[in-house]
Amino acid sequence: MIQIAPSLLSADFSQLGRNVEMLNNSTAAMMHIDVMDGVFVPNISFGFPVIKSIQKLARKPLDVHLMIVDPQRYVNQVRDCGAHIMNVHYEACPHLHRVVQQIKDAGMKAAVTLNPATPVEMLSDIITDLDMVLLMSVNPGFGGQKFIPHTINKLRRLKQLIATTGSNAIVEIDGGVNMETGAELAAEGADVLVAGSFVFSAPDPLKTISDLSNL
Ligand code: DX5
Ligand code: ZN
């Protein structure tokens, strides 16, 4: 069974508690939390007070995806929000090795995210330190965008890099996931699929999460 991480970015925030409760009762493996600062990406989502409110209700691990500059400044705050996984962008971290160690020292799992144009080979000297790699299959900043097909090629190369280095990292894919793209990603060995608009615009989100889990 593939792990599903529904993205609350596409939820109705006036009903946040109800949506978190729905995810608690679903087959989702974790909750994906998208933080945007309006600088690293051309959009602003929400910050720590909102994550704390989610954490109070959540009975699944929080996968926090930071689309922000200087994520290393916030390692302790992310931990204090109850994050299980802290995802930082490769493109936002000139001192990636140090940030990864800081995340692990803070007791969280360390994940590195790659934008669509960043080659997976950029991780070859840190892959054995990582718990997870997140491949963006859209340009980060917005939900509801179309899946970039080249992601499949990157996924194959990443799986190969993981196998040849003996890394324990799992692979998560984020953006444009639906039943069709999800099936292709599952067949290529993706471990975790993020799904935002496909889940929250569905007439029956619980069933949609369960269908994706069974891919
Ligand atoms: C995009 C975010 C995604 C987003 C995915 O910048 O990182 O997590 O919520 O949304 P969908 O699944 O609608 O592409
Ligand atoms: Zn995300």
Nearest ligand to the CA of 146 is 1
For residue range 103-133, list pLDDT tens digits in order.
999 999 999 999 999 999 999 999 999 999 9
For residues 125 and 147, is the Cβ–Cβ distance under 8 A?
no
Domain coordinates in residue numbering, the chain: 5-9+11-213
d(CA 83, CA 86): 7
- The vertex-186 CA angle with 18 and 6, nearest 5°, equals 15
Nearest ligand to the CA of 6 is 1
Query: Taking Cα atoms as reference points, which of 57, 31, 51 lies closest to residue 209?
Result: 31
Known catalytic residue: 37? no
Would you identify the CATH topology of the domain 5-9+11-213? TIM Barrel (3.20.20)
Mutate to test the pocket of ligand 1, among 4, 7, 36, 137 (most ligand atoms within 8 A of CB): 7
For residue range 128-173, list pLDDT tens digits in order.
999 999 999 999 999 999 999 999 999 999 999 999 999 999 999 9
* Res 116: pLDDT: 98
Query: Taking Cα atoms as reference points, which of 78, 72, 87 lies closest to residue 5?
Result: 87
Q: What is the pTM of this model?
A: 0.98
